[in-house]
Structure 1
Amino acid sequence: MPADDRQKNARETLDTLNDLSQLLQTGLDKQTLSICVGMLEAGANPDTLAAVIKELRKEKD
């Protein structure tokens, strides 16, 4: 698949994830979602990532 097609697919996927995030009222913006996706693609444990995000939110409040 050409690089342009991969970039287009990545943007569309991120847009869809952002739409879902907004519908579910996760409070995650597009940049944060992009970082999370990158971490998951790099092998981060999803449950651990979610727990870290929750903990960071607690500390923020």
Structure 2
Amino acid sequence: MNCKQATRLLSERMERTLTTKEKLALRLHTSMCSSCRRFGKQMDDIRLLSKSYMHAELKDKE
């Protein structure tokens, strides 16, 4: 797996469940690639911030 494939999967995992094969390949790649690990962390942070924002917006509308 290269970085382009890894970043695609890191993005896709937010919208769908990765296959076992994809998860293993991604785990192997990110264990060796600090750039993709950082990208994955950033994607996780964005997801959490988005959820927090949506929760706050819904709460404000009540």
User: Which of the five TM-score ranges fits, normalised by the shorter chain?
Assistant: 0.3 to 0.5
TM-score w.r.t. length of structure 1: 0.40
Structure scoring higher RCO (CA < 8 A, sep ≥ 6) equals 2
Higher Cα Rg: structure 1 or 2? 2
TM-score w.r.t. length of structure 2: 0.39
